[in-house]
Amino acid sequence: MNNLKKLATSLFLVLLLAACGSVAPPAPPPKLVVFFVVDGLPQRQVTGYRDQLAPDGLARFLDRGVAFSEAHYAHAFTVTAAGHATLLTGASPARHGIIGNEWRDPATGAEVYCTGDTAATYIGNATKPLDGTSPRNLKVETLGDVMRRVDPRAKVIGISGKDRGAILPAGHAGTAYMYMSGSGQFASTTYYMPRHPAWVEAFNAEKRADRYRGTEWKPLLPDAAYARSLPFNQVGPKAQLPLRTDDYAALLRSPFADALSLDFARAAIAAEQLGRDDVPDLLVVSLSGHDYVNHAFSAESRFSQDHLLQLDRLLQDFFRDLDATVGRDNYVAVLSADHGFTPAPETSKARGQEGGRIEGAKMLQQVNAQLESRFGVPKLVLGSSASSLVLDKALLAQRGLAADTVAAAARDVLAAQDGIAVAYTRRELESGGRAGSPFFDAMQRSFNRERSGDVQYATRPGWMFGTSTATHGSPHEADTHVPILLWGPRWMKAQAVATPVQTVDIAPTLARLLGVPAPAASEGKLLPLAAP
């Protein structure tokens, strides 16, 4: 009778999962999924430095796992928060609502931070008004939320050097811990708990960041190994390796904050007993250093090359420890990135390619000046917001101007600016009236009706806003093309896959491996994994 009951329960679960858009997993689910997000890692760097990788860091994925060489983001505004929200919801910003790192409320113009929530504060650390403290702005569920809904015993933990890198992948029901650049600690917030557990307090009491503060970041390999990247001082600040890290914030622009994040992840695995029972757990470690390095020096720099190689060795050490503590046959590892990176415009020009810099304030002034010339009203555009312009709704109403008419005029002025590839109005994006036009589909995926501005725009290849050495945020390949790497020989056959896939495909694929429904807003497909 007991066996019959177990069989009936199993059949019921299979039917339930199928009804929810999932099917039973090909093998018993992994006890732990470890998801690494390397902030700002373009696919071209993974292949470009392949021969310099350690035997069991990234090479574990490339040689003995599943490597997708043609993986892309399908949305246009490729920034940190949007990417992190996409990876484990399986949804585009149009659905999950995280349209950028920050944006303006389109009705009032008020500034909004992606993970800002004034109702929550950091535990044991100072909190500023726009600091990231909760997932309140994430409009949909994540894979971790599904796991905990299916079985509340599941543990879901997000760790990162950035608040948004920890909070968004952890979802609404997980727990996020982030590096505090003012104190060198890792902290959660009162959204998750009133006080830290003892293991977090013990970790912080060790003051591990102090071991790195004042330490020199030294190159891993001899000088000749860096011939394929740009020489020091050719792009970015005048600096070279060894580079001294004098304070807690400086650790973020080095391999050291990533080393600390992985150390904190080790502590979480041990204290929370991740992967130690039959209820699958999820650990997300977002490694922020590469993004800081690439902004400062560019992805083409020797700093970036060395940082990737240093991170590769850190991952090798982490895998060794995972194998020993959780067991090689008990976990699945995944690695991707939240976005790629556009080369510094000066580098693109030197290579005979298009590139340039756009002064956002100057562009805004020019658009407002031409709108004033046509409509007789100054400053109709309130400001920029997540790759869009926001019109001053109160001023439009006061002057009796139709928002659609002014938006169309602003679109035409904007599209004529140097470095701007295309621009579309809110009406066009909502109606789909320009479907098939350049980048229109990708821009629709970045457009959220409640949060986006009135005129969405995209830059030309090689062009960028801001004064950092290099950046990202475009719908072009340099920014959309990222790695998707998986390892778990018990669940998938090692293979190199050239089939085009999207980052929204990761969440439903992991849901299938875990035997749970895909997140409700997911729009991805199952990645083509071959059974072992």
Same domain as 193, residue 117: yes
Give the span between the Cα atoms of 365 and 380, in whole angstroms: 10
- Give the span between the Cα atoms of 297 and 300, in whole angstroms: 8
Mean pLDDT on 228-247:
91
**Average pLDDT score, the chain:** 94
Nearest-angstrom CA–CA distance, 167 and 159 = 8
Residue entry with tokens 């895998």: 319
The DSSP bridge partners found for residue 456 are: 388, 424
b/e per residue, 154-179, with b = 16+ CB within 10 A?
bbbbbbbbbbbbbbbbbbbbbbbbbb
Across residues 177-197, what is the average pLDDT? 98
Whether 435 and 380 map to the same domain: the answer is yes
Amino acid identity, residue 519?
Answer: P
Question: Rounded to whole angstroms, how far apart are CA atoms 462 and 358?
Answer: 11
Residue 391 · residue 454 · CB < 8 Å: yes
In a domain, residue 524? The reply is no
Choosing from 460, 494, 526, the residue where a domain stops is 460
Does the pLDDT at position 150 exceed 50? yes
In this structure, what are the phi and psi dihedrals at residue 471, rounded to the nearest 5 degrees? -155, -165
Picking from 458, 342, 449, 377, the residue whose alpha carbon sits closest to that of residue 411 is: 458
Q: What is the pLDDT of residues 433-486, one digit of tens each?
A: 899 999 999 999 999 999 999 999 999 999 999 889 999 999 999 999 999 999
Output the pLDDT for position 24: 42
Q: What's phi and psi for 383, nearest 5 deg?
A: 170, -175
- 242 lies in some domain: yes
Judge whether 472 lies within some domain. no
pTM: 0.94
For residue 329, give the 3-state DSSP assignment: coil
φ, ψ of residue 478 in degrees (nearest 5): -55, -30
**pLDDT tens profile 410-444:** 999 999 999 999 999 999 999 998 999 999 999 99
Residues 233 and 382 both lie in one domain: no
Cβ-contact 234, 351 below 8 angstroms? no
Q: How many domains in the chain?
A: 2
Model pLDDT, residue 1: 37
Domain co-membership, 371 together with 340: no
423 lies in the same domain as 325: no
pLDDT of residue 26: 57
Q: What are phi and psi of 465, to 5 degrees?
A: -90, 155
Is 431 in the same domain as 489?
A: no
Q: Say if residue 512 is exposed, middle or buried (CB neighbours under 10 Å; 0-12, 13-18, 19+).
A: buried
85 with 165, same domain?
yes
Average pLDDT over residues 121-148: 97
Structural domain includes residue 522: no
- Domain assignment present for 172: yes
User: Looking at residue 22, what is its pLDDT?
Assistant: 37
Percent of the chain with pLDDT over 90: 92
CATH number, position 428: 3.30.1360.150
Per-residue pLDDT of 328-364, as tens digits, reads: 999 999 999 999 999 999 999 999 999 999 999 999 9
Please give the residue range of the domain that contains residue 403.
356-460
- Kindly tell me the burial class for residue 473, based on how many C-beta atoms sit within 10 Å of its own C-beta (0-12, 13-18, 19 or more): buried
Q: Which residue has the tokens 């019109």?
A: 391
On the question of pLDDT at 16 being above 90, the answer is no
Q: 3-class SS at 519?
A: coil
What value does the mean pLDDT take over residues 154-159?
98
End of a domain among 443, 460, 477?
A: 460
CATH (domain of 115): 3.40.720.10
Confidence band of 3 (pLDDT split at 50, 70, 90)? very low
CA distance 373 to 369: 6
Tell me whether residue 521 is in a domain: no
Per the CB < 8 A criterion, the answer to whether 215 and 241 are in contact is no
Residues 105, 198 share a domain: yes
Cα gap 226→223, rounded to integer Å: 6
pLDDT at 21 over 60: no
Task: Provide, rounded to the nearest whole percent, the portion of the chain with pLDDT above 70.
Answer: 95
Across-strand partners of 283?
34, 157
Cβ neighbourhood burial of 412 (10 Å; 0-12, 13-18, 19+): middle
Q: Is residue 477 part of a domain?
A: no
Q: Is residue 427 part of a domain?
A: yes
> Lowest-confidence range among 23-27, 203-207, 263-267, 333-337?
23-27
Residue 132 DSSP one-character state: B
- Contact of 43 with 414, CB cutoff 8 Å: no
Question: Do the beta carbons of residue 204 and residue 179 sit within 8 Å?
Answer: no
Write out the two tokens for 115. Answer: 């993970």
- Asked whether residue 102 falls in the same domain as residue 159, the answer is yes
386 and 328 in one domain? no
Give the pLDDT band of residue 5 (cuts 50, 70, 90). very low
Are 289 and 426 members of one domain?
A: no
Query: How does pLDDT run across 64-113, given as a tens digit for each residue?
Result: 999 999 999 999 999 999 999 999 999 999 999 999 999 999 988 899 99
Residues 325, 374, single domain; the answer is no
Q: Say yes or no to pLDDT of 273 above 60.
A: yes
Q: What's the pLDDT at 11?
A: 39
